[in-house]
Amino acid sequence: MGAAYNLKKRFFDIGVVSDAGDRKKINEDCVLVKTNYVRGEEIGIFVVADGMSGLADGKSASNLTVELISYWWENYFLTRMLDGEYISSILDNLDQAIDRINHQLFNYPEKRGTTMSLMIIIGDIYIIRHVGDSRVYCINKSIRMASEDHIYAEELYKKGYIQKDDPAYHSQRHLLTRCLGVKKEVEVFKDFDKTKIGDIYLLCSDGFHAYVNEPDILKILYDKRIFTMQDKAKELRKLIKAGAANDNISIMLIRQAEREDELSFSYRVKQKLSSFMDREGTTGE
């Protein structure tokens, strides 16, 4: 790709929700949000890792993955970006870092594993590295899944053995064919594309996407009464009814804007509305 990305002074609005759900005591999901300014523009790395509870210690696997990716970002990526190194060379190093994470998890005496959905946004490009059944979505009035599911049911579907609406698909959807830590080598899904102002990116664990539908997601994301990405993430969490969350749930929303003022506009409107209501003696309910 080279280093020819487009600096348009873009900034982020981010929302994150992660909890254990209703049936599990421990949240084995782990999330990472790191943003920094390079040449006056905000860039970021975003990760959702879902530790596998059926193995020895899913929490430690997802934590280790996020910790080592964070270390790579702070100690390698940012330095090379400031030095003007080519993006392709930096991403080669990222792939090596992911291989090292996989090997470190694999070499534990007791087997442990985790999914990983990773997105880097630099200017007007995004980069994805993904393994497992967590997901990355790109949303702009419609939803497009930008990752792929590494599950046994999906393999059967691609081979024409079952359809996605078959009961067999749903009964096999929790069987992973790829994750970090279980095999000595793992094939990581890779992608990159252009970003567009107004795009929203959703990273989530299967504890969220398996229990909601796309129209409900879109309804919340484009509800003008819900201002910030954090507020929207909280509303998305409410789509799973109380008592129905059988798994850990992680939801991460990222939206870009070209000017910082654009992001803060919603906050200013909200503050002015609140001030107006206080003066008028109303609560807005």
In the chain, the number of structural domains is: 1
| Helix, strand, coil % in the chain, rounded to nearest 5 | 35, 25, 40
* pLDDT for the residue numbered 153: 75
Q: What Cα–Cα distance (Å) separates residue 16 from each residue in 45, 87, 169, 254? A: 13, 27, 30, 9
Is residue 170 situated within a structural domain?
Answer: no
Is residue 3 situated within a structural domain?
Answer: no
Partners of 154 in the β-ladder: none
8 Å CB contact between 148 and 154: yes
Is residue 155 situated within a structural domain?
Answer: no
| Structural domain harbouring 144 | 11-149+177-279
Looking at the chain, which runs of residues are DSSP E strands?
11-19, 29-38, 41-50, 116-122, 125-131, 135-139, 143-145, 189-194, 200-204, 249-257
Is residue 250 situated within a structural domain?
Answer: yes
Is residue 156 situated within a structural domain?
Answer: no
Q: 41-45, 228-232, 257-261: which has the minimum mean pLDDT? A: 257-261
Phi, psi dihedrals of residue 134, rounded to the nearest 5°: -70, 170
Report the predicted TM-score, pTM, of the whole model to 2 decimal places: 0.85
Is residue 35 situated within a structural domain?
Answer: yes
Q: What is the pLDDT of residues 46-88, one digit of tens each?
A: 999 999 866 657 899 999 999 999 999 999 999 988 777 788 8
Partners of 84 in the β-ladder: none
Is residue 275 situated within a structural domain?
Answer: yes
Partners of 17 in the β-ladder: 251
Tokens 């590494």 belong to which residue?
Answer: 150
Q: What Cα–Cα distance (Å) separates residue 40 from each residue in 75, 82, 110, 195, 259? A: 20, 12, 45, 18, 11
Phi, psi dihedrals of residue 189, rounded to the nearest 5°: -70, 135
Q: Is 245 helix (H, G, I), strand (E, B) or coil?
A: coil
Q: What is the pLDDT of residues 107-147, one digit of tens each?
A: 988 888 999 999 999 989 999 999 999 999 999 999 999 99
Phi, psi dihedrals of residue 100, rounded to the nearest 5°: -65, -40
Q: What is the pLDDT of residues 143-168, one digit of tens each?
A: 999 999 998 876 776 777 777 777 65
CB neighbours (10 Å) of residue 30? 26
Token pair in block for residue 79? 């330095």
Q: What Cα–Cα distance (Å) separates residue 56 from each residue in 106, 181, 285? A: 12, 11, 48
DSSP-derived pairing of the beta strands 200-204 and 249-257: antiparallel
CATH number at residue 28: 3.60.40.10
Is residue 113 situated within a structural domain?
Answer: yes
